[in-house]
C-alpha cells in the first residue's frame, strides 16, 4: 500500500491542477475548514460539494472512572459524484505504477519520433498547367 499524500503534497497537486497559486489554495482550504466547523458546531450537516457530506452527532460513553461523558462523533458520506468516479475504477494505482506508465509512454514517443522522420515536400506552381 502506498503512503498517504501529505497536506503539502495535496496543496501542490491542487495548485498544479487548477493553475492557482499554492498560497491561494491554502487560504481556501483554511476557509473551508472554518466553514465546516462552523456548520458542525451549529448541529448542521456540512457539505463539500462533489466530495462528501459530514454529519456530527453527540454520543455518550462511560469513562474509566464510571462517569458518563459526551463526545462528538463525525461520519462522512461520499457524494454521488465522487462515488460515480470511483465506481469507474477496478482498483487503486500506485505511484510506482504511474511513474512506470509515464516512462513507457515517453519511451514510446521517442521511438515514434525516430521511426517517423519529418518529410518536407516542396512544390512549384506551374502556371502553364493551370
Number of folded domains that form the chain: 1
Assigned domain for 35 exists: no
Instruction: Give the pLDDT of residue 130.
Output: 46
Q: What is the mean pLDDT of the chain?
A: 83
pLDDT of 1-22, one tens digit each? 457 889 999 999 999 999 999 9
Q: Evaluate whether 15 touches 27 at the Cβ level (below 8 Å).
A: no
Assigned domain for 61 exists: yes
pLDDT of 51-68, one tens digit each? 999 999 989 999 888 899
Q: By residue range, what is the domain housing residue 61?
A: 45-90
Assigned domain for 103 exists: no
Instruction: Give the pLDDT of residue 1.
Output: 43
120 or 75: which leads in pLDDT: 75
Instruction: Give the pLDDT of residue 53.
Output: 96
Contacts of 78 (CB under 8 A, 6+ apart): 51, 52, 86
Amino acid at each position: 500500500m502506498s503512503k498517504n499524500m501529505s497536506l503539502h503534497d495535496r496543496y501542490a497537486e491542487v495548485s498544479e491542477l487548477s493553475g492557482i497559486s499554492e498560497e491561494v489554495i491554502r487560504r481556501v482550504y483554511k476557509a473551508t475548514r472554518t466553514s465546516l466547523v462552523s456548520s458542525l458546531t451549529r448541529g448542521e450537516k456540512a457539505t463539500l460539494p462533489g466530495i462528501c457530506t459530514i454529519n456530527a452527532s453527540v454520543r455518550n460513553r462511560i469513562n474509566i472512572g464510571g462517569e458518563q461523558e459526551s463526545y462528538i462523533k463525525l461520519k462522512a458520506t461520499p457524494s454521488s459524484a465522487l462515488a460515480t468516479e470511483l465506481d469507474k475504477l477496478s482498483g487503486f494505482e500506485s505511484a510506482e505504477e504511474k511513474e512506470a506508465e509515464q516512462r513507457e509512454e515517453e519511451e514510446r514517443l521517442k521511438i515514434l519520433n525516430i521511426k517517423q522522420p519529418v518529410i518536407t515536400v516542396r512544390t512549384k506552381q506551374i502556371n502553364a498547367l493551370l
